[in-house]
Amino acid sequence: MLAAAVLLLAAGSTAAASSLHHDLRVRLDPETRRLVASDRLRLRCPCPGTFALLPRLAITQLTIDGVDVPPARTDGQVQLPPLPGPAHTIRVRYRGRLDPPPLDRVPEGPTMSRTGTFLAAAAWYPTFADLPFTYTLRVDVPASQRAVTAGRLEAEAEGGGRWQARYVSDGPAEDLTLVAGPWAMQDRQLGPVRLRTWLHPEIADLATAYLDKLAFFLDLYSAWIGPYPYSAFHVVSVPFPAGLGFPAMTVLGTSVLRLPFIRDTSLGHEVLHAWWGNGIAVDEREGNWAEALTTFMADYTFVEWQGPDAARELRRRWLGDLTLLAPARDVPLAAFRARRHTAEQVVGYHKGALVFLMLRDRIGAEAFTEGLRRFAAAHRFRRAGWSDLRTAFEAASGQQLSAFFAQWVQRPGAPRLRLEAARTDGRRLRFVLTQERPPWSLEVPVLVETTGAPLHQSIRLSDERTIVTIAVREPPRALEIDPDARVLRRLARDEVPPALRHVTLDPSTRALVLGDTGDDREAARLVVGSLLESPPSEHSTDTGLPPGPLVIAGTTATVSRLLAAAGLDPAPAEVSGRGSGRAWATWHPDGSPLVIVTGDDAAALRALARPLPHVAAASWVVFAGARVLARGSWPVAAHPLRAVFSPPSSGARPAPAGAPRRTRERSARSGAVNRHDLETRMASRSACAEASAASRSATLAIASPRCRAILRRSRRTARPRASR
């Protein structure tokens, strides 16, 4: 009850502050794909001189303060005459016929069809740039359809073969998305929040599972951060492959909704965006903090619940990607706005999440949570930046954090540590840690393995060269710097197992396309295109292996011939002779990432184009057609931040390099998610099962009674599941 009162108060006070209100009426006729709309805008001045409306939507009437005005349009912009005075009312009537949605990707503009209407932010209503607004939306669709927005459903009625509904914004909105379809709706009340699924009939049986998970995530984050900022959350299905987040709403393709990891993890990420990114908008001048914080509190947290080994493996993978980032793409967090390619995800999502991890390590979990709560309460329905986060965490922890945030948010790159001259006399351990100029200020964990109990220490580094002496009770056996990979740093190349995705991190990646026929080469080209995010420059084999990051794709026989001619290793045993297609990652002789993809013929190559992007985290994959038969990761080749002491000598020898080549082979699971649309997720077991693991960690307090109930139910029905 208290939460409801706070919510209404916040929505009321900020709505009053908004200077633009839309009163929209929209009629959709999916049979003919026609949209007819009118918008009555109340605008408080100073007033903008233009608004955007898609050129394909014809304006049938424009009135300003009751006077007809001929619409003056250039491209997508409608010019307004000078508007003196404090406030104006503008009425726009418009209509148009929309395209049907594509079935293989997210449409770029508004689309309509019997199977779904998707009107996303792109000027399907009169849009004033950078002006938050409130809205009332009356929508009218055939009775066989329903329509949904992020707002609060205030009224609905059916009659005369039509269904009508009125939605009202909960608070100032940045944009307005309207989706319609022939759905079955299911809902559930969770305190003051209405949970709804709007699913196509063929997947309507998923509704209960989604409502359970929605309730779990809303409970989780409300308890962790503070009240959910909206009055509803909708899960909406569309006929094209999508994974999109909007305020109080996530829009997913019917095929995507069937994937279990979507509701176990991606849904949590999207729900959390109701607080970070939507409820509190990103102040773009300081960079986008919302993806970093959401990744930390959703994706990373879910993996942390699986246990320390899984979390460490994920941190190492993120550090490996950061290590291989092309220098031009290794930008400061403050420069990240949105993810357009994997390299931006490495910085904006993963590096950012590691910064929040280091912050929690530094100030403690309690102060971290208190900082989150202060931040959420202070900036609800406003814009906020990294500096506001800093203020909240400083207040919560009583610590000065300006240097921490300046270093990790403003500075590009990451430190690189070197361990030198590690020695011991059995009672003392002495070593030197160096880093490049200018040095970073770091708190580095150190593990000393002894003949007795292990010794954990933390060392503060602020110089290029730091000499460290540690007294030990029992003779040391080994020394390891940052053994758990908790410090954001660039790894040594030998610490990074090659992975397929590494070639996507550098836009200068080249391609060699091989085959005996034009059709073979065309199929190889398709595979290369699916793996890379920008078209590669193609090289001929006549001039030898081109330098730098490289993809070699072609038929199995032609690729084998090239590898032999270039003096490269043949296909490794893990993939050789298996399946109909295979891909593996290795290092180019010049140290750059090298990925090799082979198919037994053109058809086998073509079959790899769709699944390959979804398994790009692996080091090697074997396919039967488009199905993943097996995949795995290469082991780490060396541990340069580890020194092993061999008694009785006092000198250290480097940690064993190139341990026998063990690969962790994972069970097959083919992905079918549009890589560009669905934010990459860590797979995990069901979120509630993870919450049970959380009972051993600091996140215990957030596992709610509701989750425990779900957990009890799911335990009763639990079946073994392949992990991903």
Considering beta carbons, is residue 278 or 466 the nearer one to Zn ion?
278
Rg, the chain, Cα only: 28
Shortest distance, CB of residue 581 to Zn ion, whole angstroms?
A: 32
Amino acid at 80: L
Shortest distance, CB of residue 288 to Zn ion, whole angstroms?
A: 10
Shortest distance, CB of residue 322 to Zn ion, whole angstroms?
A: 19
Burial class from Cβ neighbours inside 10 Å (0-12, 13-18, 19+) for residue 350 reads buried
- Give the residues across from 633 on adjacent strands: 664
Considering beta carbons, is residue 94 or 246 the nearer one to Zn ion?
246
Q: Are 645 and 424 in contact (CB under 8 A)?
A: yes
Considering beta carbons, is residue 353 or 707 the nearer one to Zn ion?
353
Binding mask 276-305 for Zn ion (x = CB under 5 A): ---------------x--------------
3-state secondary structure 400-424: CCHHHHHHHHHCCCCCEEEEEEEEE
Shortest distance, CB of residue 276 to Zn ion, whole angstroms?
A: 8
CA distances from 603 to 571, 631, 671 (A): 20, 21, 19
Backbone angles phi, psi at 76, to 5 degrees: -95, 5
Considering beta carbons, is residue 268 or 515 the nearer one to Zn ion?
268
Q: Which of residues 329-348 bind Zn ion (CB under 5 A)?
A: none
Give the pair of three-digit tokens for residue 332. Answer: 């400061």
Q: Which residue in this structure is represented by tokens 């109930």?
A: 709
Considering beta carbons, is residue 679 or 690 the nearer one to Zn ion?
679
Helix axes 207-225, 705-716, angle to 10 degrees: 150
- Site residue total, Zn ion (CB under 5 A): 2
Q: Are 165 and 156 in contact (CB under 8 A)?
A: yes
Shortest distance, CB of residue 389 to Zn ion, whole angstroms?
A: 17
Q: Which of residues 109-138 bind Zn ion (CB under 5 A)?
A: none
Binding mask 626-665 for Zn ion (x = CB under 5 A): ----------------------------------------
Shortest distance, CB of residue 217 to Zn ion, whole angstroms?
A: 14
Shortest distance, CB of residue 130 to Zn ion, whole angstroms?
A: 21
Three-state secondary structure call for residue 325? coil
Considering beta carbons, is residue 384 or 512 the nearer one to Zn ion?
384
Q: Which of residues 471-530 bind Zn ion (CB under 5 A)?
A: none
Backbone angles phi, psi at 699, to 5 degrees: -85, 10
Supply the DSSP symbol for 661. -
Shortest distance, CB of residue 278 to Zn ion, whole angstroms?
A: 10
Q: Are 478 and 642 in contact (CB under 8 A)?
A: yes
Give the pair of three-digit tokens for residue 164. Answer: 């009508």
Give the pair of three-digit tokens for residue 85. Answer: 């005075």
- What ranges make up the beta strands (E) of 98-143? 111-113, 116-119, 134-142
Considering beta carbons, is residue 273 or 642 the nearer one to Zn ion?
273
Q: Which of residues 661-700 bind Zn ion (CB under 5 A)?
A: 679
Considering beta carbons, is residue 303 or 531 the nearer one to Zn ion?
303
Three-state secondary structure call for residue 407? helix
Considering beta carbons, is residue 345 or 692 the nearer one to Zn ion?
345
Q: Would you tell me how many other CB atoms lie within 10 Å of the CB of residue 29? A: 17
Whether the CA torsion 350, 356, 360, 362 is positive or negative: it is: positive
Backbone angles phi, psi at 708, to 5 degrees: -65, -35
Shortest distance, CB of residue 679 to Zn ion, whole angstroms?
A: 5
Considering beta carbons, is residue 388 or 679 the nearer one to Zn ion?
679
Chain-centre distance for alpha carbon 259: 17
Considering beta carbons, is residue 244 or 444 the nearer one to Zn ion?
244
Shortest distance, CB of residue 682 to Zn ion, whole angstroms?
A: 13
Q: Which residue in this structure is represented by tokens 């090239």?
A: 562
Shortest distance, CB of residue 335 to Zn ion, whole angstroms?
A: 18
Q: Catalog residues that contact Zn ion under the rule CB under 5 A.
A: 291, 679
